[in-house]
Amino acid sequence: MFCFQCQETAKGTGCTVRGVCGKPDDVARMQDLLIYLLKGISFYSVEARKLGIVHEETDKFIMESLFSTITNVNFDKQVFVEKVKKALALREQMKAWVMQAGGNMTGNLPDAAVWTGETEGDFDQKAETVGVLATENEDIRSLRQLITYGLKGMAAYAKHAYVLGYQDDKIFAFMEKALAATLDDTLSADELIALTMETGKYGVDVMALLDQANTSTYGHPEITKVSIGVRNHPGILVSGHDLKDLEELLKQTAGTGVDVYTHSEMLPAHYYPAFKKYPHFAGNYGNAWWKQDKEFESFNGPILMTTNCLIPPKDSYKDRVYTTSVVGFPGLKHIGDAEEGKEKDFTAIIAHAKKCAPPVEIETGEIVGGFAHNTVLSVADKVIEAIKAGAIKKFVVMAGCDGRMKSREYYTEFAAKLPKDTIILTAGCAKYKYNKLDLGDIGGIPRVLDAGQCNDSYSLAVVALKLKEVFGLDDVNQLPISYNIAWYEQKACIVLLALLYLGVKNIHLGPTLPAFLSPNVAKVLVENFGISGISNVEDDLRKMI
Ligand code: FS2
Ligand code: SF4
């Protein structure tokens, strides 16, 4: 195996024996083959679209498959073997349709569009030859991977919108165009850089679509105090990003005596008006994803993983972890998709909860969030006044992901040492590095404004663009905003590409720069966008404030 898609990749270069995340090599290889075949399907999908053929099942398969290969989503080899089989079948179907419609499929077809196999042995053998390192030129490899990881993030956000009934064929068409382009050996590095920027454009579009899906379905996030303590009933802990799963679980647990708590990236669900009507929606338990090995243990009740980030469960709580949607791990109970027009069946996890003890208290108190674009813009006058009066000197966007590396303590220290006239804008699980510090407020505006999940970084961009307009500036970079973003997995890649597309410059990215950026590609990002890494808190505070 060779995987370097996340920030915690082994030695900062690549996992080659087993993922630091726990992904075994056979799963990594099967994921490589699946991605390869998605490119093969996409080769035909691009042709099919030109002929007016659009197949939603294929679009959905590509979206879900990309999502399933994101870090900490699915560790189950059998899931990928079945997906590889389905990919081969869909590819042949697409090819047949293209040919029937008169599409020209002669000439040199890419191997991903023609290779076939039947057994797991065939798949294993082929997988060895189609991974990341199959592209020899390191710059082309780097750009292909940057695009592919951006597409994975895009697919995750598209899926969350899709389950709420929001989809945009232009996003599917782009995903397929870009996947197919990564097979094209005639594309130059410059052409791939242009495609990377286009990926950012669709990143903005997909986050806007998800924002529309979430806010139309559940209302605009509101300023909300979320309890971080516990009650004395049994509970179910919901993690991941899928609000629809949470909604159905809240409905099905109503009146059962079982409370529902959020973990990690599900915390922002509390900010939506639609979920406030459930008295048993008890609060947020614990912190960011990587602390789950301790927090799932002390929670006592069952845990529902709706998306990443799942870490290989310990035996002490393994029987209490349920997966759903694209998440999987061998031996864990999986709650399957609902039939059309019905809800998922959470009976088993609710029955399980009833037999469990209430959660052990690990924290007490409250945290405040809900500062998505609607809320911030509704108090824009107050914010603008505070900027003009000099009470707010600077905003620092500290969005992104958290992770287990000790070096990430930098973010806690950075937040704590920021001058008192600065405000942190955050989204994603990065917030757990400082959302329990008492950083106070500026004239009633809290110094940490949490917009929501990582996809709600879109909200931060909306706010920045609005401020630019209000202040009559020509460039978003003239605003008093610095960017100190932490990344871990591939959703952060699409968020980063989206920000670059919107023209944001001088982003500091840490705790380390991606291993998949070759020196030349990193140079392009530095020269054109001023991207840099982080150094130490003191020096970075001087640079950014
Ligand atoms: Fe954090 Fe993990 Fe949101 Fe990422 S909980 S690193 O999924 O996408 O953020
Ligand atoms: Fe390694 Fe990250 Fe890939 Fe897991 S996702 S195998 S930790 S690079």
458-473 pLDDT, tens digit each: 999 999 999 999 999 9
Give exposure, 352-368, as e/b (b: 16+ Cβ within 10 Å). bbeebebbeebeeeebb
Q: How far is the CA of 453 from the centre of ligand 1 (A)?
A: 8
**What pLDDT does 104 receive?**
81
CA distance 44 to 53: 10
Quote the tokens at residue 260.
């529902």
**What pLDDT does 231 receive?**
98
**What pLDDT does 106 receive?**
80
Is 265 known to sit in a ligand binding site?
A: yes
CA distance 172 to 179: 11
Strands (E), 168-276: 224-227, 235-239, 259-262
Q: For a pocket test of ligand 2, which of 5, 27, 145 has the largest count of ligand atoms closer than 8 A to its C-beta?
A: 5
Atom of ligand 1 nearest to the CA of 288: 5
Listed as ranges, residues in the chain with pLDDT below 70 are none
CA distance 22 to 310: 10
> pLDDT tens, 344-363?
999 999 999 999 999 999 99
Query: Exposure of 103 by Cβ count < 10 A (0-12 exposed, 13-18 middle, 19+ buried)?
Result: middle
Which ligand minimizes its atom distance to the CA of 487?
1
Against a cut of 0.95, is the pTM above it? yes
CA distance 82 to 119: 11
Largest CA distance in the chain: 69
Pocket of ligand 2 (CB under 6 A): 3-6, 8-9, 15, 19-21, 23, 28, 71
**What pLDDT does 105 receive?**
83
Atom of ligand 2 nearest to the CA of 14: 8
β-pairing, 448-450 vs 481-486, is: unpaired
CA torsion angle 310 507 439 441 (round to 10): -120
CA distance 180 to 198: 14
Which residues, at least 6 apart from 448, have a Cβ–Cβ distance to it below 8 Å? 415, 423, 424, 426, 431, 434, 435, 439
Indicate if ipTM > 0.95.
yes
Q: How far is the CA of 489 from the centre of ligand 1 (A)?
A: 7
Cβ contact 164:215 at 8 Å: no
Mean of pLDDT over the chain: 97
